[in-house]
Chain A
Amino acid sequence: MTPTSPASSFLRVEQLSKHFDEVKAVDEVSLDIQQGEIFALLGGSGCGKSTLLRMLAGFESPTSGQIHLAGQSIGDMPPFERPINMMFQSYALFPHMTVAQNIAFGLECDQLPPSDIDARVQEMLTLVQLKPYAKRKPHQLSGGQQQRVALARSLAKRPRLLLLDEPLGALDKKLREQTQIELVNILKKVGVTCVMVTHDQEEAMAMADRIAIMRDGKILQLGAPMDIYETPSSRYVADFIGNVNLFAGKVVVDEADHVIIETPQCRHYVSHGITGTENMEVSVAVRPEKICLSPAEPTEQERELPAEVGHNQVKGRIVGLAYFGSFTTYHVQIDDRTTLKATLANAARHEDRRLSVGDDVWAWWDGSDVVVLTH
């Protein structure tokens, strides 16, 4: 986890909770968010991320806890007093107003002089490249254009904090990929601090500087995308982000620089020490793309360390495969209960030795590519 000094945190959430009768939607969550950072709250439905966002916006009042923005406590402020703006999942564009009027609305509420309002509206239209559409009404725009209007409207007042509620949820896949990059570019250009909520892990990983994984109202893990992906702190997180193969077993050798774990499928040689003891129950997590497949058992030359020979490998049969164009996922059955998932890039167009269903293969990986999880 990237260390942050409390003094520099821009948005600070302290022990924030929200209870609905018996249900704890948000359970004593604490966060420190840096200025200019894009922060993602990621989780399945019901995990509390939307409720947390709405508390930041002011649409829910916390049951307990504090929210500080740039040192100012805002937990009690109504939404129209907070220097925070939100981009809604449904865009919430005012249907009876034009694009320009939508963008101008917030500025009019601040009672700025009309010339200033006009100038700012033009500025925002240029930012999202919608200048020719200023006089259109929302229903005359495409989905992607509506999204840009929503963004322009939420940035018009130069908010200190921008909240994004499933910003790309309504777009189709092709548009989504393109918009992700554009959106991040605009946000970084403007330099606004962002908190976004999403259930789409790819979106979070692609856009955010840091991610918080939420479940049942609590934060399970917080960190940069790569940290969370490569170093998940629990089985749930490992399984939630991307795909993972989990082996459950016991530590049989516990040394400072390496650990050997015995699981029913194979012996694992982990080339780093762990905080734990011998005989401890652990899980070994291996990501599918870290696994190599070959018809023959791996030789000593192919392994990373000599000590790994005989470890970190299993024999199995391919029982299924899914071809995704740029890569293929293979399902390798190891024993009655275990099927391994391995992902291989289709690096060459034609491969004589392409694997197919029914083949017997060896699956193996490096000891430095695994994560040992204790819970």
Chain B
Amino acid sequence: MQAPSSHASPPDQGRRQPWGRWSLIGIPYLWLVVFFMLPCLIVFKISMSELADSGIGFLDMVSLQDGVWQLRLKFSNYTFLLTDSLYLLTYLSSIGYALLTTCICLLLGYPFAYFLARSSASLRPLLMMLVMLPFWTSFLLRIYAWAGLLDNNGLINQLLMSFGLVTEPVLMMHTPFSLEIGMVYVYLPFMVLPLYANLVKMDLRLLEAAADLGAKPWTIFRRVTIPLSTNGILAGSMLVFIPCVGEYVIPALLGGADTLNIGRVLWDEFFNNNDWAMASSVAIVMMLLILGPMTWFNRIQANEHTKASP
């Protein structure tokens, strides 16, 4: 009969010094409630609010008029979102781009992370540093770099023309192609890092045991390495997919009229149309879409941490 290890918890101070514990937990908790939870609730409220007659501000949701309580909920934003084909298409398109980006990042990033993890220990810090350098460099600037590369007068077109492969510049900017390249470029490190962290901690003895039992290298990879790295794959995929859905900057700089992104829609509704209620509704629906993956991500994180602490 094993008593649960008490090494993870601090000495039992709760009774004697409750204030220390409460402030430690309380301060960040309060910050999160005020700056995270409250904003989410407000977005939800505004998405259902009616514009005041004056056009400025919103009518109160709950008010007392002529001695009768009035509840004003405006669902028209939502009904519009869910029935308008353009919005639906935009949501689907955003999810589509996110899925595509995740898959490409996984295909490119997994082998890279694998080779990185298996490289010689003395070389690894240097290799890691070379991966981190782009990551630490401003992502805005790096997207701008692709704008330069894919431009009609950009390097790629210049090379293509000088080698005689094309006679006219290939239109690459403001296309789904440029958008996708930008997404993959920015999010690749987000896939590589969790994968690498997982692969580098893998117990190589398991692989040796498999080889000892007669398995060929590809089989070992397929049936031992990949399953063991599932957590890394999931974490990396979530870190790519979820933010990709609502990405704004990359579509704004590299996307075009025919690339539909919900992030851009939200921005336009807010900054160009000044329709805060609509923007909020768009945000809420976006949240619902990513709620599933986010919960999944949370669970993965929780699992990793319970494994780490005894």
Contacts and interface: CB of A to CB of B under 8 A. Distances in A.
A–B touch (CB < 8 A): the answer is: yes
Interface of A: 18, 20-21, 23, 25, 45-46, 48, 51, 54, 58-61, 76, 78-79, 216
B126 interface: no
Interface stretch (B8-16, B107-115, B221-229): B8-16
Given A51-B6, A59-B6, A216 B1 contact: yes
Given A46-B3, A78-B11, 18 more contacts: A20-B4, A20-B6, A23-B1, A23-B3, A23-B4, A25-B3, A45-B2, A46-B1, A46-B2, A51-B6, A58-B11, A60-B6, A60-B11, A61-B15, A76-B15, A78-B17, A79-B11, A216-B1
16 contacts: A18-B3, A20-B4, A21-B4, A23-B1, A45-B2, A48-B3, A51-B6, A54-B6, A59-B6, A59-B11, A60-B6, A60-B11, A61-B12, A76-B15, A78-B17, A79-B11
B2 A59 contact: no
Closest 6 A-B residue pairs measured CB to CB? Answer: A25-B3, A61-B12, A59-B11, A46-B2, A20-B4, A20-B3
A76 to B, nearest CB: 7
Interface secondary structure of B, over-half rule: loop
The range of chain B's interface size is 10 to 19
A92 to B, nearest CB: 11
Contacts of A58: 11
A48 B15 CA distance: 23
A105 to B, nearest CB: 17
B110 to A, nearest CB: 36
Interface string B2-34: 111010000111011100000000000000000
Contacts of A79: 11
Nearest to B15: A61
Interface string B48-86: 000000000000000000000000000000000000000
Interface string B29-46: 000000000000000000
Nearest to B4: A20
A45 B1 CA distance: 9
Contacts of B11: 58-60, 78-79
Nearest to A77: B16
B3 A76 contact: no
Interface of B: 1-4, 6, 11-13, 15-17
Contact of B3 (A51, A59, A61): A51
A51 B3 CA distance: 8
Contacts of B17: 78
Contacts of B12: 59-61
Nearest to B14: A61
A61 B15 CA distance: 9
Given A58-B11, A59-B11, A78 B16 contact: yes
A72 B11 CA distance: 21
A23 B5 CA distance: 12
Contacts of A216: 1
Nearest to B3: A25
A54 B8 CA distance: 13
A78 B12 CA distance: 8
B88 to A, nearest CB: 50
A309 B304 CA distance: 68
B21 to A, nearest CB: 13
A254 to B, nearest CB: 37
B1 A78 contact: no
Contacts of B6: 20, 51, 54, 59-60
A46 B5 CA distance: 10
A79 B17 CA distance: 13
A43 B6 CA distance: 18
Nearest to B1: A46
A216 B1 CA distance: 7
Contacts of A48: 3
A23 B6 CA distance: 13
Nearest to A58: B11
Contacts of B3: 18, 20, 23, 25, 46, 48, 51
Nearest to B10: A59
Contacts of B2: 45-46
A46 B3 CA distance: 6
Contacts of B1: 23, 46, 216
Nearest to A76: B16
A23 B2 CA distance: 8
A77 to B, nearest CB: 9
A301 B231 CA distance: 75
Contacts of B15: 61, 76
A183 B11 CA distance: 28
A203 B112 CA distance: 51
Contacts of B4: 20-21, 23
A59 B21 CA distance: 15
B213 to A, nearest CB: 31
A45 B2 CA distance: 7
Contacts of A23: 1, 3-4
A45 B16 CA distance: 30
Nearest to A81: B16
A45 B11 CA distance: 21
Nearest to A57: B11
A23 B13 CA distance: 21
A222 to B, nearest CB: 21
B8 to A, nearest CB: 12
Contacts of A45: 2
A144 to B, nearest CB: 25
B11 to A, nearest CB: 4
A79 B12 CA distance: 9
A20 B12 CA distance: 13
A58 B17 CA distance: 14
A337 B17 CA distance: 60
Contacts of A21: 4
A61 B17 CA distance: 13
Nearest to A23: B3
A54 B5 CA distance: 11
A116 B190 CA distance: 55
Nearest to A59: B11
